[in-house]
Amino acid sequence: MAISQIISLFLLHLLLPLASTSLSQSSHQLICEVGTGNGGSIGGTSPLPASLSKLLIKGGTVVNAHRQERADVYVEDGIIVAVKPNIKVGDEVTVLDATGRYVMPGGIDPHTHLDAEFMGTVAVDDFFSGQAAALAGGTTMHIDFVHPVNGSLMSGFEAYEKKASKSCMDYGFHMVIRHWDESVSKEMEIMVKEKGINSFKFFMAYKGTFMVDDAVLLRGMKRCKSLGALAMVHAENGDAVFEGQKRMIERGITGPEGHALSRPPMLEAEATGRAIRLASFVNTPLYVVHVMSIDAMEEIAKARKTGQKVIGEPVVSGLVLDDSKLWDPDFITAAKYVMSPPIRESGHNKALQAALSTGVLQLVGTDHCTFNSSQKAFGIDDFRKIPNGVNGIEERMHLVWDTMESGQISVTDFVRITSTECARIFNIYPRKGAILVGSDADIIIFNPNSSFEINPRSHHSRTNTNVYEGRKGKGKVEVTISRGRIVWKDDELKVAPGSGKYIPMPPFGFLFDGIEKIDAKLVSSFKAPVPRFKSDV
């Protein structure tokens, strides 16, 4: 990270109390001056000049998931108010020249773990540093996973509200279900009806901590269905993984390669298939997070062919990396690639890319869950103790572009899989995921003729490693606009803690359309109960 950027972030941390006070009085109080060429200084707490609340992006190609067009985009107070050619404005409006660039919706990352307590430690990126990194990479919203506290969903929600109070971009929450009882069932309703949560995640792995059994999964799916919330699964057979880990340790395989060997693709496929069948039995939509293998992807493909509503989310690590580094003789190098399900052998990545480009898989997440080398070293003698997780929130947009755009997908597809589809699935489209009149002004200006290079010394995450270190490619996010504020420009971040907003997500998204008709059809096909007369016996 450049010194000026560090200073900017540091000053903004100092300003946090000021920021939150003034922001509660007026959203125009704390500003970050943009494009002043003053080496990354911040604007402090002076009132927002009119020019920064009005923004014109001129001369670019506006790309939505449904089409691309030459148009200007005019923004007022964080909302897009016009998208059309040749918009004329007065001197009070800040103008950004997007000639030769794409103007696209900011990315939405459906899968992150900021400030997460996991495997006896805490992920190093919190809601400020993780989001700052996201903005520098063109992502303007993410959805994070709330864990219950002492079994209470409400306490978990409140804990995450606190963690997220330092946010500098918009965010939403999924909620994790770790056990089942009446109070969980009741609190799920409160989460959906009062707290803006429309998805619940069930871990089928991490035996002894997060893992739930089929009974909990079934009850949870039924409850999700009744509330119009999406059931999500981390799909690996946790019992078999536990057995696989024991086998490796017994054979003296204690290093990071043991992680991959103990949880092969067949265990991911088994759990994916099981979750799909249970969701079909309940007749509720299912979202499979971090699809890492051909085997799991094929389970999803099969189900989708029958018309079942199953969403498959590959993550960037699974799309662009392979497992070779897990065999690196240097422990720290190998350990940084440990995540679950594991990054697979070469070949799975290309197949996942193809599945994404043909619509078998629908959107790309990151599973951003970062740990420093010192945390990864907890597992130096036993791979089971290496905190699982990799980075990606900053790199996702660039890597997807570079990997997929060279022929596999169109520019509109890029917008769909990095932004729009996520907004649709979680029922916040077109407020998010679109450049349309009335949408939030979460916008990136992307130069397809520029280039990027990934380096842990200049990335914005707090982690001291980067699994994509050294990657170079075509395309660059030159400007990121978060609800009308220019937060990334000229390789400088201008972000304010407390400026991000929680985005409530309403239930009964499009995946629930027609569910009751399928139920009715099933019931009418039963030919039951059979009317019987009692015969004498």
DSSP assignment, residue 466? Answer: -
Q: How far is the CB of 325 from ligand URP (least distance, A)?
A: 15
Q: How far is the CB of 485 from ligand URP (least distance, A)?
A: 30
Residue 362 binding result from ligand URP, Zn ion, none, given CB thresholds of 5 to 8 Å by partner type: none
Using the contact rule CB under 5 A, the part of the chain among 230-238, 260-268, 440-448, 457-465 near Zn ion is 230-238
Residue nearest to Zn ion (CB): 234
Q: How far is the CB of 286 from Zn ion (least distance, A)?
A: 15
Instruction: State the Rg of the chain over Cα.
Output: 24
Q: Is the peptide bond before 529 cis (omega within 30 degrees of 0)?
A: yes
Determine, following the binding rule CB under 5 A, whether residue 101 of this chain makes contact with Zn ion. Answer: no
* Token pair listed for 400: 């997807």
Report how far residue 127's alpha carbon sits from residue 167's, in angstroms, rounded to the nearest whole number. Answer: 5
**Interacting residues with ligand URP (CB under 6 A):** 113, 234, 290, 339-340, 367, 369, 388-389
Determine, following the binding rule CB under 5 A, whether residue 367 of this chain makes contact with Zn ion. Answer: yes
Q: Write phi, then psi, for 354 (nearest 5 degrees).
A: -65, -40
Q: How far is the CB of 366 from ligand URP (least distance, A)?
A: 10
Q: How far is the CB of 235 from Zn ion (least distance, A)?
A: 9
Residues 6+ apart with CB under 8 A from 489: 34, 35, 478, 479, 480
- Report the residue number, 63 or 400, with the smaller CB distance to Zn ion: 400
Q: Write phi, then psi, for 482 (nearest 5 degrees).
A: -110, 110
Residue nearest to ligand URP (CB): 388
345's enclosing H/E stretch is: none
Residue 485 binding result from ligand URP, Zn ion, none, given CB thresholds of 5 to 8 Å by partner type: none
Residue 225 binding result from Zn ion, ligand URP, none, given CB thresholds of 5 to 8 Å by partner type: none
Residues 6+ apart with CB under 8 A from 20: 165, 497, 498
Determine, following the binding rule CB under 5 A, whether residue 234 of this chain makes contact with Zn ion. Answer: yes
Determine, following the binding rule CB under 5 A, whether residue 398 of this chain makes contact with Zn ion. Answer: no
Q: How far is the CB of 357 from ligand URP (least distance, A)?
A: 24
Q: How far is the CB of 238 from ligand URP (least distance, A)?
A: 11
Residue 223 binding result from Zn ion, ligand URP, none, given CB thresholds of 5 to 8 Å by partner type: none
Report how far residue 27's alpha carbon sits from residue 23's, in angstroms, rounded to the nearest whole number. Answer: 5
Alpha helices in 104-237 (DSSP H): 129-136, 153-163, 182-194, 214-227
Minimal CA–CA distance to 122: which of 366, 372, 340, 468?
372
Using the contact rule CB under 5 A, the part of the chain among 152-160, 166-174, 366-374, 404-412 near Zn ion is 366-374
Residues engaged in binding Zn ion (CB under 5 A): 234, 367
